[in-house]
Amino acid sequence: MAVGETQVESGSEPGTKEVETGWRATLRKIKRDTTARWGLYVITFVLAITAYTLIDGNLSRLTFGNVSDFAMAEALPIFEHPERLPPPGEADTNVPPAFHADGSMAHPLGTDPNGRDYFTRIVYGAQVSVSVGLAATFLGLVGGTIVGAVAGYYGGWVDDLLMRAVETVYAIPPLILIIVFTVFVSGGSPDVRFAIIGVGIAFIPVFARIIRSEVLSVREMDYIEAARAAGVKDRNIILRHVIPNSFAPVMVYATLQIGVTILIVAGLSFLGFGAQPPTPDWGEMLQTSHSYMHSNVWLSIWPGIAIMITIMGFNLFGDGLQDALDPRIND
Amino acid sequence: MGLLRYTTYRFLQAIPVLIGISILTFVLANLTPGDPVRLMLQGVEADQEMIEQVEARYGLDRPMHERYLDYMAGLVQGDMGHSFHRNQDVASLIASRIGPTLLLVLSAYAFALVTSIPLGIIAAKRRNEPFDHVSRIVALLGVSTPSFWIGIMLILIFAVQLGWLPSADLVYPWWSPEVYGHDGYLEHFVETIRHLVLPMIALGTLQMATLMRVERTQMIESLQGEYVKLARAYGVPERTILRKHAFQVAQLPIITIVGLNLSTALGGAVLIEFVFNINGLGRLFYEAIIQLDYQLIMGITMIIATMFVIGVIITDIAYAYIDPRVTYGEAE
């Protein structure tokens, strides 16, 4: 842990010029920080799996022609490829994991009640969970940055109006807001795309608040005044000077927020308002396995562990980044 | 400003937010492609005449802003509308379901506070020792694991495998023991606790982990404060320093976080009530969503957001009450 370093730093004022010049120093600190390094390992591992599933899917599509997503179909033989179904009575349904007495290495984590290989589904589940987590956080980050920067830079009634709106959105618990949004906007048939937008909107307030408070301090800097005096347009000042200089603390928060997003999307899919079957998604898999909780215990175990490891990676990295960038970001 | 005036001021401040919430939920509910009537009548063989009848019955043939004003007029009088699917008053439906949710959320908080504060303090005191490392790993796992999955695992271990604790529903302490066939109040109390333990832990773990992390950081910072150095220089015993000086200051951020995290806890209640089959507000919300019962959805969203707003106000007031440095509301 970089506790020793953070102490030394905490004497200097956070959010001043060092942040801008310190990108290389930051990278060095991240490399030295055990927490951040482990977080990075886990994230790389999960991203590598995601990349593999994407490439694998695309390669297969190239090879096998017009199959919508061959690799995914591999994991979902019954829904998309009825012809792949083993003859009745011979389906490998409910095979236990390999370490179980009745298990085999053909299905390391066993199969689900539809005979789909669980390991493949867990691996492909990374694709949905990670991409949804990243996309939704990015959406919230962009939205929040715009709202926060505009509110903080202009101040006055613009600030009041935007911040009241942000407070309103913030007052509705994210999960509730996202469910209401996805269900109503999709007209009663929710899916992942609506979930991403919903999560993005629900996270605008947190990012808007951080950006705004950063902008408020950056706004008073001499170089902003200089730019204004030189006749640079407001829009360009915000885009070129204000936002880049307010970004460091937001990046830390965004990293931690990816974990929260994945957590929420898992809950969303678990309730049936996120990814829909047969898409392999960890939350969706937990929902499906919920009805088999008593007979097939392992079905409920693996997706949860996958979610936990992924989120832990982002949290570890976020913690390390926090120590490296700014020790006092919490308050 | 006195504490009473500050309290009034904070509540008045909440009014625009509450109005904003009502607008937001109303707009969301009306964003639906097609119209609410078609959603309501999903699965019903409805002809044009029937649709028009339903529209007229619920005033849906009128423009949105008129309907919103109507809805607000009702809200002010405590009328939250009518649940189409259940043919019941939304307000009374919510009133009958709010108890279990409050019981669940408050006990989850109690669990989180009782565990996180001592653990956080010990971790801060024994910084970088094994205890600290273990507690930080536990906290990391706590913030990284979905609450509903913890719930499922707890059910599998303690209800299914070991058979120690029940896995579904709550026993309401406010009902009389006879309803459950309990032998007196002691058994009633024990059963209440036994039913509450698993959902409480499932919902409270995230809170516990978050608070533990904050408590640890705050205590470390607080123990490095000038006043602690001064107290040490005066020869004040370490225990007293920990208990009196460092502790009190470190609790202030905890109060704020408890308030803000209510949002996560209320959202989490939907999941936990689903997993544990608890007939609370979260479960009602889930059912309302499945049935697209939009008056009920709006009502529950309003109530949950209001609970959050009130929770934040209460913690703000508690903060102002405890921290002598706060001058009520004059900053900002």
B182-219: per-residue pLDDT in tens? 787 888 888 888 889 999 999 999 999 999 988 888 88
- What number is the average pLDDT over the span B158-182? 81
State the residue range of the domain holding B110.
92-290
3-state secondary structure of B89: strand
8 Å CB contact between A37 and A27 = no
Distance CA B7, CA B4 (A): 5
Look up residue A236 and give its two tokens.
């360009």
Residue B61 lies in a domain: no
Cβ contacts of B123 within 8 Å, gap of 6 or more = B131, B132, B135, B136, B212, B216, B219
**Beta-strand runs (E) in chain A:** none
User: Does any domain span residue B112?
Assistant: yes
How many structural domains does chain A have?
1
Give domain status of residue B280, yes or no: yes
CATH number of the domain that residue B214 is part of? 1.10.3720.10
CB contacts < 8 A, A to B, total 151
- Residue B89 dihedral angles phi and psi, to the nearest 5°: -70, 130
- Decide if A202 touches B, using CB distance below 8 A: no
- Identify whether A20 is part of a domain: no
Burial A39-50 (b: 16+ CB within 10 A, else e): bbebbeebeebb
Residue B246 domain-assigned (yes or no): yes
A163 touches chain B (CB under 8 A): no
Q: Does A24 touch chain B (CB under 8 A)?
A: no
* pLDDT number for residue A192: 83
ipTM of the complex, rounded to two decimals = 0.86
Lowest mean pLDDT among A201-215, B43-57, B244-258: B43-57
Predicted TM-score (pTM) of the model is: 0.82
Average pLDDT of every residue of chain B = 83
Q: What is the pLDDT of residue A311?
A: 92
Q: What is the pLDDT of residue B125?
A: 84
**CB of B219 closer than 8 Å to CB of B120:** yes
Report the C-alpha gap between B244 and A7 in whole angstroms: 24
- DSSP for B179-190? HHT-SHHHHHHH
Residue B144 to residue A165, Cβ atoms within 8 A:
no
- For every one of its 331 residues, what pLDDT tens digit does chain A have, with 9 covering 90 and above? 333 333 334 344 444 444 444 566 667 777 777 888 888 889 989 888 888 877 765 544 433 333 334 334 444 433 444 444 444 444 556 667 767 766 666 677 777 776 677 787 888 888 888 888 899 999 999 999 889 888 888 888 888 889 888 988 988 999 999 998 888 888 777 888 888 999 999 999 989 988 888 888 777 778 888 888 888 887 788 788 777 777 777 888 888 889 899 999 899 989 988 877 777 788 888 888 888 877 778 888 889 999 999 999 999 888 888 777 654 433 3
Q: What angle do CA B112, B114, B119 make, to 5 degrees?
A: 90
Is B81 within a domain?
Answer: no
Give domain status of residue B150, yes or no: yes
Whether B301 sits inside 8 A of A290 (CB atoms) is: no
Domain housing A102: 53-75+94-325
CA of A313: which chain B residue's CA is closest? Answer: B144
Q: Copy the structure tokens of residue A159.
A: 């600030």
Q: State the nearest Cα–Cα gap between B77 and chain A, in angstroms.
A: 22
CB contact under 8 A, A266 and B24: no
Q: Please list the residues that pair with A200 across neighbouring strands.
A: none
* Domain presence at residue B98: yes
Residue A1, domain member (yes or no): no
Phi and psi at B300, nearest 5°, equal: -65, -40
pLDDT at site A31: 75
Contacting residues of A for B212, CB less than 8 Å apart: none
φ, ψ (nearest 5 deg) of residue A117: -65, 120
Give the total number of structural domains in chain B. 1
Cβ atoms of A192 and A132 within 8 Å: the answer is yes
Query: Which positions ≥6 away from A149 have C-beta within 8 Å?
Result: A211, A212, A215, A238, A242, A243, A246
Record: contact A267-B29, CB cut-off 8 A:
no
Cα Rg, chain B, nearest whole Å: 24
Give pLDDT, residue B105. 93
Task: Determine if the peptide bond prior to B237 is cis (ω within 30°).
Answer: no
User: Domain containing A59 — which CATH number?
Assistant: 1.10.3720.10
Phi, psi of A329 (to 5 degrees): -70, -20
Q: Is the residue at B31 inside a domain?
A: no
Give how far A247 is from chain B: nearest CA, Å: 23
A331 within some domain? no
